[in-house]
Structure 1
Amino acid sequence: MVVLVAFLAPRGARADHYSGGSITYECLGGNFFEITLDLYLDCSGAALTAQSLQLSNDCGVSFSLTNLPLVLTEEVSQICPSSLANSTCNGGTLQGVRHYQFVTTVFLSPCNDWTIAWNICCRNAVQNLVGTQGMYLEATVNNLGGVCDNSPVIADNSLPFVCVNDPVVYSPGISDPDGNTMQFALISAQFAAPAPTNIGYQSGFTAAAPIPGIVLDPNTGQLSFTPTVTGSYVVVMEVTTYNASGVPIGTMMRDFLFVVQNCVTTPPVTSGLTNSTNGFIVSAGAIEVCDGLPFCVDIPFTDADPGSSIVLTTNATTLLPGATFTVTGSNPVVGRLCWTPDPAYSPANIFITADDNSCPVPNQASTSVLITVVQPPAIPPDAGTNGTTSACPGSPPVPLFPILGGGPDLGGVWTDPNGVIHNGVFTPPGDPFGIYTYAVGNGCQNDQATVTVSATGGQDPGTDGSLNLCANGAAVALITGLGGTPQAGGTWAGPSAVVGGMYDPVTMLPGAYVHTVPGVGPCPAVSATVTVSETAAPNAGANGTLAICSSGASTSLFARLGGTPGTGGAWSGPSAVVGGNYDPSTMAPGVYTYTVTGTAPCTNATATVTVTENTLPNAGTNGTLTICSNGASTSLFARLGGTPAAGGAWSGPSAVVGGNYDPATMAPGGYTYTVTGTAPCTNATATVTVTENAAPNAGTNGTLTICSNGA
C-alpha cells in the first residue's frame, strides 16, 4: 500500500465547496469495470477542478486514473421549479447544489481486495466536524476467481434539506442490482493525510451519531432523527454487500450533508407499511412475500399542513419488473405497491419519496422498503391463542408473550392497537390500552393471535406529547397534544392556570402541563404531560399609506408601516421593490405588501403600504408681455411658456380680472401665475413680466382758414 499512500497526496486546487460524493462500479465482464464518481458541489464555491482516481490492491498493483471524463452536469438543488432561477447555481441567493458525474472504464486484474479511492483537500464548513478537513471516498471490490459483481446504486441524486425541530425520515435509496444482501453502517468522515484518516468530531457528535438521536436501519439504510439546531451536518454511510453464502463481496460509501434550516411548513411523515395483502410485515420498512403469490401493501404519508399536496415518486417499478405503484389522495396520500414476487429480484430495497411542493424549498421525506421473497415454512407457524390482561396506567411493564395461550412460536412480530410495530412489552403510561397483535411465519404462511390490554381502573391519561404553537395563535385544547386515547375529565396543572383545558398562547406561559386522572380502586392517580413550546410570531407591522409627489425623491416603504415591523422581510407590489424604497420616477403606485416569513407553525405575516402619487402642478414657464400704454386688454396666460395648467390664480401689481392685462387700468410689472399643488406636491408658479411703452401723442384734430394770398 506504499504506492497508494503516494497517490493520496492532497491536490493543490482548493475546493471548499465539495458537499458530498460516492464511487460505484459496474462489472462489464472479462474483469473490465465501469467506474462512476459522483460529486455534489455547493454552487457558491469555486469552479470544479479535474478529477482523478487511485486504484490499488493487496496483490501488489497500484495505479491512478487522471482527468476523468465528465459525462453529466446537472443542478439538483432542493428548490421548487418556479424558484430555481434564484439558486446560487443561477446567480441567485437560494442555496444551490450541482451534481457532477465522471465515468471511466478500467481493467482490474483478479484480486480479492481492490480499493478505488478519491480525495480532495477541503470540504464545506459544517457543524459536526473539527475544522474544514478534506474529503475521502472509496469503494472496494473482490473480483478473484471470475467474480463479476456490481456495487449498490443510489437512487437519490441530491443533498437533503430538512426542517429544524421536525422529525426527519430519509433514505438515500440504495439498492443492489445483483440482489446481494446489504448491511448499512455509519462511519467516520475521512480525509487523506496522505493515508485515509478519520476526521475528529465536535463535542456531542460521533461517527455513529453525526446528528444527535439519529437512528439507522442497518438493513435498508433509512435514517430517522429530529434536528434541533440549524446548520450543515456531514453523514457518511458505508454499505457492505454479501453473497448468498454470507461472504463479503465489496463496499461503497456515500458522504453527504444534511442541511437543517428553519421552515414555514412541515414535512410529510409516514408510519410505515400497512394494509398488506398476502405479505408479512416484519418491520415498519420491511416485508416478506411468497414466491409467485401476488401481494399488495400500502405506504401512507400525511402532512400537518392541510394545504399541502403530497407527490410520491418511487423506483419500485424499475427494480421489480411487472410491479405497479398507484397513488390515492393528496394529503393524506397512499402509495399502493403490488407485485407478483420473483426470487430473481430478491431482496429488493425500493425507495419512495414524498414531496409537499412547498416553495421556494420543498419539504421531502423518503423511505426504504426491503422486500424479501421467501418459500413456505417447513412447519406451519403457530401464534398461540388470544389472551387478555389488565393493568393500572402506572403499573410496571407487562411482557405480552406469556399472556398468549397455547404454544406460540418465538420470533414473531408485535403490533400495537394502531398497527405500529411494537416490542411486545406493554409499558404504561406510554403504551395505549387496546388490542396487541402477535404474528409469526412469513409471506407464504403466517398465524396471528392477540392480547387485549385493558385498564384496571378504567383510567387513561394518555401518553406524553407536545404542542408547538405560534405565539399569537388561537387557543387549543391541551388534550390534543397527548398521545394515546386520553379520557376527558382530568385536571391540568402547569406554569399558568388552565381554564377549560385550553392553552392560550397570548395569555399563558409555555412549559410542561400535566394532565392527571384521579385514581380508581387499586389504581392510583395517573398523569401524562404535554410540553408546550411557542414559536415567536413574525411581525410585519400595521398597514400604512404613502402619498408622494410624482416628482418626489425615493422614499422608504418600511418607514410607512405602522407598529413595530420585523426587519428582513420581502416587498412585492405593482413594481419590483429595490432596497425597500418607492421611487416615483420608475415605479407604479398601488398596494405594496411587506411579508415577514414565519417559522412553523406560525404562518407568514403581511402588511401593506398603499401608495398614491399626486401629479406635480404645472404653471408653465416665465414669459413677457410688451404692450402699448393704450393697447387693448391682453391674455396673460397666453404669454406663459410651456404647457401651463388652467385654473390657476394671478397676482401682481394690480388685480387681475379674467386673466387679462389691461394697460388702461393696470400697472406694469411682474404678474405671477400660481397653480395649487395637492400635498405633498407644492404649488407651482410662473411669472409674466409686463412692460408698457408710452403711446405717441399727435394731439387732436384742428382747422386752418387762410387767404389765398395770405402770409
Structure 2
Amino acid sequence: MAILALQARASHVQGGQLTYRWVSGTTYEVTLVTYRDCSGIGAETSFTLAARSGGCASTATTATLIQTGVPLLGTPYCPGIQAQVICPDNSGTVPFTNFKEYTYIGRINLPPADEWVLSVESCCRPETRTLAGGVSAGFRFEATLNNRITPAGGTVQTIENTSPRFAANQAGIRFECAQKNATVTFSANDPVDNDSLVYELAPPLDGCNTPNSFLSYPTNLRCTTRTVAGCTYTCSGTTPASFSPTFPIAVSFDTTGTCPNRTLTPRFRFSPADGLFSFTAASFVPGNTTAAQAQNKYVVVGKVTEYRRFPGSNRRYKVGSIRRDMLVVIIDCGTNSPPDPPQVVVSTQQTNAVVRTTRDSTYITVQACNYARVRLRFTDPNTSNLLTVEPFNNPSNVLEGGDIGEYLGVSANGSAQPQATLLFQPQPNFVGTTRTLLFRITDDGCPFKGTQVRPVVIRVVEGEFARALASTNQQNQAVVCEGQPVTINALVQRPDSVIRNRQVYAFTWSGSRTGITPAEGLNPGDANLQNITVRPTRTTRYYLTITPTRAFQPALCRDTASILVRILPRLTASFTVAERAFYANRDNIPPRIFTFTNTTPSLAPNDSVRWTYKRITNDAGEQVMEDEIVFSRQRIGNPELTLDQGGQYEIRLFVFNNVAGTSCPSAVALKTVQVPPLVIPNVITPNGDGKNETLVLQSLPDNNQVQIFNRWGRLVREYKNYQNDWDAKDQPDGIYYFMVTAQNGQRLKGWVEIIR
C-alpha cells in the first residue's frame, strides 16, 4: 500500500465531459462533469462556458456553470482500503490516490446556427506518459451543436437537440491492471432524440483547434523483429514513433503462429460501433514521485458524434458531438486478475441461437420470430473473489423495450458466480440490426478491485424454423402408391414457449404458395389441422403455413414449408407368349418351349417383375393341386420356360412399382398354355416324307439304355442315351418291341409298327 501514497500536486483536473440538454426555444442547459485529483488543489466553484458559431476568433456567448450536488468519491479500492481513502475539497496530502467527480450546470441561449462550439478551459492537466508539457498542458472540454440544418435539395430546418449521455456508472478515470487484459468504454445513449451515434478516438485539446502534443512512444516497448532460440518474431503493423489519439497507451503484444515463425501484434483494439477499447498495458512503473507516477497515466479521449435522418431524405446529418476526456491509470494488481469473460448458456432447445466468445466481447446471434433464454455466468480467475455485476447501459433501451428481448437481472450478485438472464424474442423488423449490452463486472480484490467491462453484442438474423415431415419420415418428400392415403405432420422446430407463456400456432395447408389453392386430396374442413391425411391422385406439393398467435407479429413471423408427395402410378401388367416344339416337327408331343415378352406399359428401371407357372390340369384334363413356381425375375428380354408334362398351365406376370424404398401392390397378368399329353407312338412311317420318320420316346431318363427287338425276339438295335433317331431303315415292315432301362434298373416296355 505504500506505493499508493501520493504527495500534494498543483494540478487537479484529470478528465471529464461537456454535455447539453434542450430546455425550450433556444435555451439549453449545459452540464460539465470534471474528475479532480484528490492530491491536487481544490476544485473550482464555477467555470465559464463559451459558445462560438463563427470560429475560434469570433465573439463568444458565455454563461457561468455553477457547482451543484455532492461530489462523488471514486471507489477503485476494496472496502478495507476504501475506508481509509480521503479526498479533501481543498489541497492536501492523501494516503491513497483517488478522484472526485464534480458537476457544474448552467443555461445558455443558442439561436439556430450551422454549428455551435461549446467549450470550457482549465489549467492544468496532470503530468502523464503521453502528453508533452507536464502540468503546464492546457485542458479544454468541448461539445458541438448543429441546430440549423440544410438538407440536400431541401429547406433550412431549425431543430432542437439533446446530446447523448455517457453511462452514469462509468467514471472517466480508470484504474487498470498492468499486464492484464482490460476493456474500457465511453459508450453513450441518446434516449431523447434516438439519433445515430458514431464513436471515435480524438486528440485531447489544449485550446480551440489546438490539440495537445504527444510524447514519443517508449523505445523499449516498441515492436521489433527478433529471433529468440531459433524462433523469429515478426511485427504485424508497427508501434508508432509517438503516442497518438488512436494509439494512446503503451501496450503488450499478442503472439500468434508457431515456431520458427511467430507474429507480434500490438494489443490495442477499438470498436467504432460502441466506443469500446481493449488493451493490455505493457508495464507498471513503481514509485511515489511525480515522475514515476506519471509513467502510469495515459490520456484517452473518446468522441461521440450524433447523426439524424430527416423526413424525405435518406442522408443522415450531423446534429452534434460530445467528448469524454479520460485518464487511464495503470496499477500493479499483484495476483489479482480482472474477472473472466462470462460463460454463455442457451437453456432453450431448438432456438438456433449462436454464441461466440472472444477475448474482448461476447457475441449472441438470435433469430427473429424465435424465443431463446440465455444465461451469462460470471466467474473470476481468483476463485475466492466475489463479483458484482451491473448493466452499463439501459438494457430496456438496448433491447427495444422487449421487441428484441428482456433483461431479467442478475441472480446471486455479490457471490463467486453471479448469473445474468436474458430472454430474446426478436420481432422481424429488427433483422440485420446489432445491439450491444455492456456489463461492468467488479471483484473485491485488494487493494484494487479488478474491473472488467464486457460487451455482449446481440445480432438479430432471419429465421426459418417450420418444417413439414411425412409420416414415412422421408424428410422433404413422400412416395406413395396411387390410391393410398398418406399422413403429413406439421412439425414446429422451435420451442413451444415465449416469454412467460406457451406459444400457440395456427396451421394452414394449401396447394400453392399463395395459400388460396385447395390442397389436392385433402378434405377442405381439415385444412387448418396440424396433421393431415391426404389421398392424392397425382404427384402433388403441399404447402404449410405456421403462424404464431402469441408475442410475435403474426403477419411477419409466419413460417412456411412444403412437402412433395410423389404418386407411383398404377401399372397394368401384360405379356405375350410364343411356343415351339422341343423336337423338330413334333408339335403334338411334349416337351413344349414357351417364350414370353413383357409388354407392360410405362415400366421403369426400378420396377421389378416375377414370372410364375402352375399346372392346373393333367394330360387327362383332370384338376391337379400343384405349387406355383417362380421361373424368372427377368424385367426385360424374353424369358423361356420348358414344360414336359402334359396338361394346362397358368402363367402369371407380377409387376411391382419400386421408388425410394416404396413398393406398391403388384399388377398381375394371367395367360394359360397347353402342353399335349405324353403319347408314345406305335406306328412310324420312315418313307422320307419328313413326318413320323423315327421312333420318338418322350421323357427319357438320363443314362438310359434302349433295346429294339423284332417279333421273334432278336435284338436288332441297342442305344446308350437314345436320341430318338431309330428309323428302321435296315429292317422290314412289321411289329417291333422296345425296352427302356433307366440307370436305377427300372424298365419300360412297348411296341411299334413299321409301315412304309
TM-score normalised per structure 1: 0.47
Give TM-score scaled by structure 2 length: 0.44
Higher-Rg member (1/2) = 2
Structure having the higher strand fraction is 2
